[in-house]
Amino acid sequence: MVTDLMQSVEWSRAQFALTAIYHWLFVPLTLGLSVLCALMETQYYRTGDRFWKRTAQFWMRLFAVNFAIGVATGLILEFEFGTNWSNYSNFVGDIFGAPLAIEGIMAFFLESTFFAVMFFGWEKVSRGFHLSATWLTAIGANLSALWILVANSWMQYPVGCRFNIATVRNEMTSFWDVLLSPVAINKFSHTVTSSFLLAAIFVMGVSAWYLLRGRHRRMARSSIALASAFGFIFALVAAFSGDRSGAIVARVQPMKLAAMEALYDGREAAPLTLFGILRPEEARTSDDDAFHFKVEIPKMLSLMSFRDADAYVPGINDLVEGNEARGILSTALKMERGRHAIEQLARYHTARETGDTATMQEVERLFDPDTPEGEAFLRDYFAYFGYGYLESPRDVVPNVPLLFYAFRVMVGSGGFLLLLCAVVWWLNRRERLDKQRWLLWVMILSIPLTYLASQAGWIVAEVGRQPWAIQDLLPVHVAGSYIGSTPVAVTFFLFLALFTVLLIAEIGILCRQIKIGPKESNE
């Protein structure tokens, strides 16, 4: 039964990862293209030039294809919370529920209402009203992302809550702490701005295809001018927020940072590995034997993580075995403390069953942050609740190679795309872009690259959180529901088939619409 439970959890993880990856193929283009369409329409509103109207309408058509095919794919993720992850769903309580409810009520309805005006209203409402609807659609889409990312950030950094032992739910004590946690703010800005970059690369790539074919040259060049500047600005913002993200991760998820860098032994003035090839897992025990080779920038990791070139950055071994001199607790000690917290939960459970109110009240006081004993217990024991479920201290180490390489794919691609936007903007401005056919091909091929970078970013965020569903509090294998592994495996393949069909449909319709191109001027 235990084996079947583990298999069921592993299939549920695979299913959730699959659903999230496919969902994220549709979302970033919606976020960024909605803003680009709004900017194009703003240009039409300001100048009255109908060329901008046709241009905006063309990109809106591609936006609509992506939106219609991508919409509701996220619902499957929400179903999975209840069915495959019921312990998790109850444990997160209203903290997860509140942002998702706000997302559903406010952002989704805002987006959907104005979406109709954006598409049906060109000749039926005033230009100003139409422009407002387009901007509100873009704002609605990005607000949707905000609430989802707030919920996700809480899983990485659970704040603003209090654990209710009677209902086994985390109850929100401060909405603002949840909404404005540094992880949430940074995750939102990084995710949204990198989505803007993705949309810019998409517009640049499609426009490059028109230039290669010698079609719709004015529209292509104007779209490239706007998208390359837009992409460059938001690539810079994404780089800045990514840097902030590293500094925050160093404080709230040090194991994630150590695994991203494959840093086994903590050190002062730690270097940043630009690139390297990792040895197989069994051969990696320390920094001396972790890599076949690597290229490093001295002191950069310390500087980026703690804004101090000589700061100490803990490694995987420090975090697993502990480092007394640096005040780092060993995972074994955290496991002991976590088990003590779980024992208290078990005592409470038994006391409820036997009607032992004295024990119930005693344990309730331990989980009450307003009592002195509760404050100490929550800080010293419940903070490590999830560790109590681990079998070995090494269980806290996520998949190092996956994180290490995914991080470099994300950062390397991001740097390349930033440079691409700058070069394309400059050449387009100097009217020399059309002649650089190789660069036009690079622009087209950068479309899949930007999607790869976007997915790699999520792999870093989510694989780096493992083994936790909620950082330090709930490991993934405890978060799952007990359901047979076979049905989860079957539905995994069903979802795979459904999403693959949707993706093929999207690419097919998008290619057909791109081939048709914008309406020719007849006004």
Partner 1 sequence: MKNRKERILPCRIFRFYYDGFREMTLGKTLWAILLIKLFVIFVILRLLFFPDALAGKSEEERGEIVRSELIKHR
Quick check: 264 binds partner 1 (CB under 8 A)? no
> Can you tell me which of 21, 50, 78, 79 binds partner 1, judged by CB under 8 A?
79
Shortest spacing between CB 93 and partner 1, in angstroms = 9
Cβ–Cβ < 8 Å for 158, 467: no
Stretch of residues binding partner 1 (CB under 8 A), selected from 62-70, 196-204, 211-219, 432-440: 62-70
Q: How far apart are CA 503 and CA 500, in angstroms?
A: 5
Question: Which residue lies nearer to partner 1 by CB, 69 or 146?
Answer: 69
> Can you tell me which of 481, 492, 514, 518 binds partner 1, judged by CB under 8 A?
481
Question: Which residue lies nearer to partner 1 by CB, 29 or 456?
Answer: 29
Residue owning tokens 């693959």: 500
> Can you tell me which of 18, 71, 77, 444 binds partner 1, judged by CB under 8 A?
71
Q: Which residues pair with 323 in a beta bridge?
A: 328
Shortest spacing between CB 44 and partner 1, in angstroms = 20
How many positions of this chain bind partner 1 (CB under 8 A)? 53
Shortest spacing between CB 94 and partner 1, in angstroms = 10
Question: Which residue lies nearer to partner 1 by CB, 120 or 426?
Answer: 120
Stretch of residues binding partner 1 (CB under 8 A), selected from 160-168, 175-183, 260-268, 414-422: 160-168
Question: Which residue lies nearer to partner 1 by CB, 21 or 75?
Answer: 75
> Can you tell me which of 20, 76, 107, 442 binds partner 1, judged by CB under 8 A?
76
Q: 217-240: b or e for each residue (b if 16 or more CB lie within 10 Å)?
A: eebbbbbbbbbbbbbbbbbebbbe
Shortest spacing between CB 65 and partner 1, in angstroms = 6
> Can you tell me which of 87, 132, 285, 399 binds partner 1, judged by CB under 8 A?
87
CA distances from 343 to 226, 336, 350, 385, 449 (A): 60, 11, 10, 10, 49
Residue closest to 478 by CA, chosen among 488, 468, 486, 489: 468
Question: Which residue lies nearer to partner 1 by CB, 352 or 365?
Answer: 352
10 exposed, middle or buried (CB, 10 Å; 0-12, 13-18, 19+)?
middle
Stretch of residues binding partner 1 (CB under 8 A), selected from 26-34, 57-65, 252-260, 286-294: 57-65
> Can you tell me which of 488, 492, 514, 518 binds partner 1, judged by CB under 8 A?
488
Residues in the chain: 523
Q: Which residues pair with 272 in a beta bridge?
A: 297
Q: How far apart are CA 382 and CA 33, in angstroms?
A: 44
Structure tokens at 259: 């695994």
Q: How far apart are CA 248 and CA 257, in angstroms?
A: 10
Which residue type occupies 266?
G
Question: Which residue lies nearer to partner 1 by CB, 339 or 429?
Answer: 339
Collapsing DSSP states into helix, strand and coil, what is residue 156? helix
Stretch of residues binding partner 1 (CB under 8 A), selected from 136-144, 262-270, 367-375, 487-495: 487-495
Shortest spacing between CB 120 and partner 1, in angstroms = 3
Asked if omega into 254 is within 30° of 0 (cis), the reply is no
270 exposed, middle or buried (CB, 10 Å; 0-12, 13-18, 19+)?
buried
Question: Which residue lies nearer to partner 1 by CB, 437 or 515?
Answer: 515
Q: How far apart are CA 301 and CA 296, in angstroms?
A: 10
Stretch of residues binding partner 1 (CB under 8 A), selected from 37-45, 73-81, 205-213, 416-424: 73-81
Shortest spacing between CB 186 and partner 1, in angstroms = 31
Structure tokens at 398: 């996520």
Cβ–Cβ < 8 Å for 74, 23: yes
Q: Which residues pair with 268 in a beta bridge?
A: 312
Q: Which of residues 333-392 bind partner 1 (CB under 8 A)?
A: 339, 342, 345-346, 348-349, 352, 388-389
Stretch of residues binding partner 1 (CB under 8 A), selected from 183-191, 264-272, 462-470, 492-500: 492-500
Q: Where are the beta strands (DSSP E) in 213-310?
A: 267-268, 272-278, 291-297
Shortest spacing between CB 119 and partner 1, in angstroms = 7
User: What values do phi and psi take at 432, rounded to 5?
Assistant: -115, 5
Shortest spacing between CB 68 and partner 1, in angstroms = 4
> Can you tell me which of 413, 491, 514, 518 binds partner 1, judged by CB under 8 A?
491
Residues in CB range of 47: below 8 A, 6 or more apart: none
Q: Which of residues 441-480 bind partner 1 (CB under 8 A)?
A: 477-478
Range 39-43 contact pairs with CB under 8 angstroms and sequence separation of 24 or more: 39/226, 39/230, 40/223, 40/226, 41/130, 41/131, 41/134, 42/131, 42/135, 43/226
> Can you tell me which of 50, 78, 82, 373 binds partner 1, judged by CB under 8 A?
82
Shortest spacing between CB 434 and partner 1, in angstroms = 29
> Can you tell me which of 124, 282, 355, 520 binds partner 1, judged by CB under 8 A?
124
Quick check: 86 binds partner 1 (CB under 8 A)? yes
Quick check: 69 binds partner 1 (CB under 8 A)? yes
Residue closest to 326 by CA, chosen among 252, 265, 413: 265
What residue ranges bind partner 1 (CB under 8 A)? 61, 64-65, 68-69, 71-72, 75-76, 79, 82-84, 86-87, 89-91, 116, 119-121, 124, 164, 166-169, 339, 342, 345-346, 348-349, 352, 388-389, 477-478, 481-483, 487-488, 490-491, 494-495, 498, 502, 505, 509, 513
